[in-house]
Amino acid sequence: MTVCWLATATYEEVAALDRTHAVAIVPLGATEAHGPHLPLSTDVIIVEAMARAGAARLVGRGVTAVVLPTVALTPAPFAAAFPGTIDVRPATLVALLEDVADALAAQGFTRMALISAHLDPEHLGAVTEAIETIRADGMRVAFPNLARRPWSERLGEEFKTGACHAGRFETSIVMAERPELVRELRTTLPPNPNSLSVAIRAGQHTFAEAGGPRAYFGWPADASADEGCALIDTLGAILEEAALPLLDDD
């Protein structure tokens, strides 16, 4: 058994799957500013690595894992002032996720895992709203919200400070996955210890207000590919553990 990547499968291959007992994994990223050293697709790169690592773990348990194409356009108001960021309305994401769940259900899927590397509050609020409707319609849903415990406690010291946008955490993962996309100037960037978590609780709404005029927070110069590989493994374990309750009746 191997992971099924929906976008590269044929319809006959999908038809042959045990869809009733499969876990459909929906990765959620963003297209937004990640400092002067990382690509706008950083969240997409991270969540696709998480999907790959977690799906492989599920397949190792004998579970059919189907990974859908990544949602790359989503609410991103904190970064909206930076060129290249695409900020969509929360209602757009809610409607999209509900429609995706309906389409999966119509094809016999009953279990769905949403995963996100994008932690903007409006994005997470839209995901939570969509999940309520999707569950009410009968789909079983897992969503390990990385912004909350226990998951947030497992992603390194920088992550726990809340100063983790385009910092050591995210830069390490991109260095492990797509090193050619990390700009060399990342080694010259000074630390920015301002916490986005604290800023959000204080009612701030943009990176600039939160103390990130160059759209990064944390310690990007301290990143390494080795740390990125370890973080990807942890993210895969988080997906696996969050999805396990969906399998209780198997």
Q: Note the pLDDT of residue 162.
A: 93
**Does position 61 have pLDDT exceeding 70, yes or no?**
yes
Report residue 1's pLDDT band, with 50, 70 and 90 as the boundaries. Answer: confident
What's the CATH number for 4-244? 3.40.50.10310
Q: Which residues contact 177 (CB under 8 A, 6 or more apart)?
A: 45, 46, 48, 49, 228, 232
Residue-wise pLDDT for 108-136, tens only, equals 999 999 999 999 999 999 999 999 999 99
Domains of the chain by residue range: 4-244
With contact defined as beta carbons under 8 Å apart, do 227 and 168 qualify? yes
pLDDT, the chain, mean: 96
How many Å apart are CA 67 and CA 64, to the nearest integer? 10
Q: Note the pLDDT of residue 248.
A: 80
Report residue 250's pLDDT band, with 50, 70 and 90 as the boundaries. Answer: low
Q: Note the pLDDT of residue 2.
A: 85
**Does position 249 have pLDDT exceeding 80, yes or no?**
no
Q: pTM, whole model, 2 decimals?
A: 0.96
Share of the chain above pLDDT 70, in %: 100
Q: Note the pLDDT of residue 11.
A: 96
What is the mean predicted confidence (pLDDT) over 236-248?
A: 95
How many Å apart are CA 120 and CA 104, to the nearest integer? 26
How many Å apart are CA 250 and CA 140, to the nearest integer? 13
How many Å apart are CA 6 and CA 68, to the nearest integer? 5
With contact defined as beta carbons under 8 Å apart, do 234 and 154 qualify? yes
- Alpha helices by DSSP H, 31-167: 42-60, 90-106, 121-136, 157-161
What is the mean predicted confidence (pLDDT) over 219-230?
A: 98
